[in-house]
Amino acid sequence: MAKARGGTKVQYCITAEASQISQKLPEIISNVFDIDTVETDAIESGQIILAEVLNNIAEHGFVGRVPGRIFIEATRNDFAVRFSIRDTGSPMPGLKLPRASLPATNIPLGDLPEGGFGWFMIRTLAQDLSYRRDGDMNYLEFSVVSSHKR
Amino acid sequence: MRLNSQLTGDILILRVEAERLDAASAVYFKDQFREAVQAHDGRVVVDLEPVSFMDSSGLGAMVAARKLVADRELEIAELSPIVMKVFRLTRMDKVFSLHDRIEDAIDTSSQSSVKTA
């Protein structure tokens, strides 16, 4: 919950639940990105990626047990925001990030998937995405390039 | 999340009264949408004006809604920039009829089936 002093590093700890994520995300985004100087496009991408990453942990990380904590750290410099996300949920299947591809849109309506868009958006919008499992923790890192308004 | 329904002529307008259509609220949208369209076989327009943010769960709920009215178009109006971005990124803008304004959906009923390319 605490915002680190100095203004370049922001840290949050939230419960891995959809309602908590939904409630906290706007505050996190407005503390991580300087809305006066950073391009809106970068802030939108940041919010989409973070929502998908956190909800993925909430949905798959703690199946059948009490939702744990997610630790979010965002470090900002002039060009990008580097996010580091830690959680004690289950490891990623195969200890790697899911692949992501879009379904064709010219298929029968009934065959359209209602899920699977999340990882596609993460992979499309995030830079330098990496994942590792260390002990009982998942570590996910990515950057959002933040070009500035002129 | 609340879905307000209003019949304008033969168009059923469903206004999503929520700031965020996301993993926390998508399931409520699906349930209320199913109920709202049950007794209506005309056009359906979803008004997203109050919604500033949508994630993949919200998008999945829209796809589920699209399937429920499979014999018609599902029209969506008033997409915020971030919602539009989610539709474009996933190419789901090809699967729905998108309108800038709710008035566009109502007034230009002859153009309503023109898909946004």
CA-CA distance, B111 to A147, in Å (whole number)?
38
Helices (H) and strands (E) in chain B, counts: 4, 7
Q: Provide the strand spans (E) within chain A.
A: 9-15, 69-76, 80-87, 127-134, 137-145
CA B83, B89, B94: angle at the middle one, nearest 5?
A: 85
In this prediction the ipTM stands at 0.90
Does residue A3 register a pLDDT over 80?
no
φ, ψ (nearest 5 deg) of residue A62:
-130, 35
A66 strand-pairing partners: none
Q: What tens digit of pLDDT does each residue of B70-95 get? A: 888 899 999 999 999 999 999 999 99
Give the model confidence (pLDDT) of A41-86 as tens digits.
999 999 999 999 999 999 999 999 999 999 999 999 888 999 999 9
Q: Does the distance separating the beta carbons of A121 and B56 come in below 8 Å?
A: yes
CATH code (residue B55): 3.30.750.24
Burial class (CB in 10 A: 0-12, 13-18, 19+), B25: buried
Type of residue at A102? L
**Structure-block tokens of residue A146:** 């933040």
**pLDDT-derived band of residue B108, with 50, 70 and 90 as boundaries?**
low
Tens digits of residue pLDDT in A18-32: 999 999 999 999 999
With CA atoms as reference, report the closest residue to A100 among A73, A66, A124: A124
Q: Residue B44: give the domain boundaries.
A: 2-107
Q: Point out the residue among A22, A40, A125 whose CB comes nearest to the CB of B24.
A: A22
Q: Is residue B23 included in any domain, yes or no? A: yes
Residues of A in contact with B57 (CB under 8 A): 18, 55, 115
Please compute the mean of the pLDDT values over residues B91-104 and round it to a whole number: 94
CB–CB of A133/A67 below 8 Å?
no
Nearest CA-CA partner of A144 in A53, A68, A81: A81
Is B29 within a domain?
yes
How many residues comprise chain A? 150
A92 touches chain B (CB under 8 A): no
pLDDT, tens only, A89-122:
999 999 999 988 887 778 888 888 888 899 999 9
Chain B: give the shortest CA distance to residue A100, in Å: 11
Q: Which residues of B touch A48 (CB under 8 A)?
A: 55, 82, 85-86
Q: How many CB atoms lie within 10 A of CB B71?
A: 7
Mutate to test the interface with A, among B56, B62, B96 (most CBs of A within 10 A): B56
Instruction: State the DSSP code for A148.
Output: B
Mean pLDDT over all residues of chain A? 91
CB A139 within 8 A of CB A87: no
Residues of chain A in contact with residue B92, where contact means CB-CB under 8 angstroms, are: 105, 117
Work out the minimum CA distance from B33 to partner chain A, whole angstroms: 15
CA-CA distance, B37 to B21, in Å (whole number)? 19
Confidence bin at B114 (pLDDT 50/70/90): very low
Inter-chain residue contact A52 with B91, CB threshold 8 Å: no
**AA letter at A46:** G
Residues of B in contact with A116 (CB under 8 A): 56
Q: Sorting pLDDT into bands at 50, 70 and 90, what band is A6?
A: very low
Note the pLDDT of residue B113. 46
B56 has pLDDT over 80: yes
B22, A22: Cβ pair inside 8 Å? yes
Contact A109 B67 (CB under 8 A): yes
pLDDT of residue A122: 97
Q: Where are the domains of chain A?
A: 9-145
The answer, yes or no, to whether residue A5 has pLDDT greater than 50, is no
* Identity of the amino acid at B65: A
Distance between CA atoms of residues A97 and B11, nearest Å? 44
Residue A7: other Cβ atoms inside 10 A: 10
Residue type, A114: E
Scanning every residue of chain B, which has its alpha carbon at the shortest distance from the alpha carbon of A44?
A: B82
* Helix (H) and strand (E) counts in chain A: 3, 5
**What is the number of CB-based contacts under 8 A between chain A and chain B?**
82
8 Å CB contact of A117 and B60: yes
Q: Which pLDDT belongs to residue B109?
A: 57
Residue the block writes with tokens 């949905």: A59
Does B15 reside within a domain?
Answer: yes
Residue B116, pLDDT above cutoff 60: no
Picking from A44, A57, A114 by the largest number of B CB atoms within 10 A of its own CB, the best residue to mutate is: A114
User: Given this model, what pLDDT does residue A147 score?
Assistant: 79
CATH 3.30.565.10 fits A9-145, yes or no: yes
What separation in angstroms does the CA of B28 have from each of A56, A112, A147, B12, B52? 19, 20, 37, 18, 17
Per-residue pLDDT of B19-38, as tens digits, reads 999 999 999 999 999 999 99
How many domains in chain B? 1
Do A114 and B60 lie within an 8 Å CB cutoff?
yes
Q: What single letter denotes the amino acid at residue A107? A: I
Residue B51 lies in a domain: yes
Residue B116, domain member (yes or no): no
